[in-house]
Amino acid sequence: MTLIRFDECINPRIVDALRAIRVPQNFQLETPQELAQRGQPDVNWIEEFAARGGRLVVSGDGNMRRVQLERAALEASGLVAVFPHMKWYGSLGKWGQAAFFLAWFPAIMRLANEAEAGAHFRIPTSLTGQFESLEQLKSLAEIEREREEKAAKREAARQAQPDDTND
């Protein structure tokens, strides 16, 4: 059984709609509203969900991608995470948001089966549902490595400049 969690920023009625069109039996969907976990800190439910065998999180919470503590919890737990492009997704309204997830859910299920543990993806601003157009986001380790490389280049460039203070 592949367990997928939609966070509280995704309308639980969308999850109900996905169930109504018969999600394959080897997938189980859940929401925090169903588990009486609404408002719980993300780090807490991430750890609990992973401990129960959770595989993938669909999040409408932009902080989960940007706040290092939350992002680190997702990566450390091995959960695959999927994020819609929030400004665009938020502008769709309830019917457009439902259409968005109906279009993209086959690709989300494929990610749950195929993505590397801890990988994060952004769903593009379209209704195509094309798996190949999902954008894999950089891990925290990759971001940190790039930051260190840039700092080393800046320092090397600074060191290479002639010292004009002795003139």
**Helix 68-77 crosses helix 140-160 at what angle (to 10 degrees)?**
120
The domain total for the chain is 1
30 or 157, which is more confident?
30
pLDDT surpassing 60 at residue 167: no
Where residue 158 falls among pLDDT bands split at 50, 70, 90?
confident
Token duo for residue 104: 């993209």
Is residue 145 one of the residues assigned to a domain? no
Is residue 47 one of the residues assigned to a domain? yes
Tell me the whole-structure pTM to 2 decimals.
Answer: 0.84
Q: C-alpha angle 70/76/3, rounded to 5°?
A: 85
- The pLDDT score that the predictor gives to residue 125 is 92
Give the CA-trace dihedral at 65, 66, 67, 73, to 10 degrees. 30
pLDDT surpassing 90 at residue 36: no
What CATH number is attached to the domain comprising 110? 3.40.50
Mean pLDDT of 124-145: 88
Is residue 159 one of the residues assigned to a domain? no
Report H helices in 52-92.
Answer: 62-66, 68-77, 86-90
Is residue 43 one of the residues assigned to a domain? yes
Where residue 166 falls among pLDDT bands split at 50, 70, 90?
low
Q: C-alpha angle 108/113/119, rounded to 5°?
A: 70
Coil/strand/helix, residue 102: helix
- What are the percentages of helix, strand and coil residues in the chain, rounded to 5? 55, 15, 30
The per-residue pLDDT for range 61-120, each reduced to its tens digit, is: 877 777 778 888 888 899 999 999 888 888 999 999 999 999 999 999 999 999 999 999
- The pLDDT score that the predictor gives to residue 154 is 85
Is residue 165 one of the residues assigned to a domain? no
Mean pLDDT of 2-26: 93
pLDDT surpassing 80 at residue 18: yes
Is residue 161 one of the residues assigned to a domain? no
Structural domain that includes position 102: 2-138
Is residue 30 one of the residues assigned to a domain? yes
Contact 82, 55 (CB under 8 A): no
Q: How many helices (H) and strands (E) does the chain have?
A: 7, 6
Mean pLDDT of 29-45: 88
Is residue 158 one of the residues assigned to a domain? no
- The pLDDT score that the predictor gives to residue 157 is 85
